[in-house]
Amino acid sequence: MDERVMKKCIGKPVPDWDRAHRLPVDRPVGPNVQDFGSTFGINSNYMDVIEPSFLEKQWFVTGVLVAFLCIGIGPYIYVFTHANGSSGDFIMNCLAIVAMIVFGTIVLKLGRGLFFGLRYQPIRFHREMRKLYAIRARRFFAKPGEGDVIWEAPWTEDSIFCLHRESTSFGTIFHIRHYTVDDHGNVTQVFSIGREWTGNRQVEMALAQWNYWCTYMKVGPNGLPKPMLFHTQNETLRESFLFSMYSFGMRAPVVIRLLMMPLILVFTVMRTFANATCRNPVWPAAIERISVIAPDDHYAEPRPGTPVGWGDTVLAQQRGEYPDDPKTTDKGWTGASDGRLHAATWLDNPTGHAS
């Protein structure tokens, strides 16, 4: 889910479905505790996670390229209708102008931030401060120590975290959101945390991911299962290719991948090009000061020897050097032990939501 789509929520109340599906920070929402590829790094002090568009960047970048090429429809119509010295047709001239405006608007709206922005926008779960710090945009003219633009979200029972549902042309998707509201209950800020999940059958995964973050904020990294993988913060061409390939499914058949290979290669080139125009995020000095990692922190990961990124992690799993599908059960959970059955029930009758 591209974050810019969420602007339609600003100035309005939190959607009813989202409010009904609040996610509490003080108790588990399912039996399982597991990460599903949302982590950059973890230590005793904080954990950095991704936001959804990080995984889907190649789709939006390619869409911007197509829209940019479509701008040429306008000049083509104009040249075609004015061939041989013709004065052209008023309606066709208007059509040419409209085409340039429409596709130009798409390029400006979707391309902003993808190019000459940030390669990734981490969200920091800070245990000591009991807050989330989310980098939201590149600051081009930052003062010394100012860093990039960040939003803060307190980790309290009053904070509005929820599972959001969105209907798209690719089906129903879910992702975890945080809403900031004003005194009238209208949304002033909204951002998503982690990755997306497709269809009702993956809601079990979303609830397990939320339990993972809640467990970390409550008791720290001790006892947490390993993340599915640690995402790289210095993306290589190989990683861009794997991002593009896995966006068609982690376990897609070889035949599907071969059929999609031309598009996968286009995605790889576009993702690499977009990253080349951007830079890594810069945390403000004030957050850096409270995010110092102790040199003897045994939970600081990734460390030397830990695989980072899709390629290295898959190879390490094949060698038996990194766990495959690591997860655990929440010790405080007293409900149904079947995570999928519980998730299906929770969708229809969520517990612990605000009225």
83 — alpha (psi -120 to 50), left (phi > 0) or beta?
A: beta
32, pLDDT greater than 50: yes
Residue 89: what pLDDT? 67
Domain boundaries, the chain: 3-51+121-234+280-290+301-347
pLDDT in tens, 323-353: 999 999 998 898 888 999 999 999 988 864 4
pLDDT in tens, 244-255: 999 888 778 889
Percent of the chain with pLDDT over 70: 92
List of E strands, 66-186: 123-126, 131-137, 149-154, 160-168, 171-181
Residue 293 CB partners (closer than 8 Å, separation 6+): 43, 44, 45, 300
- In the block, residue with structure tokens 């083509």: 76
pLDDT in tens, 61-101: 998 888 888 887 767 666 666 666 565 566 777 877 887 88
Residue 355: what pLDDT? 32
Q: What is the pTM of this model?
A: 0.90
Residue 83: what pLDDT? 64
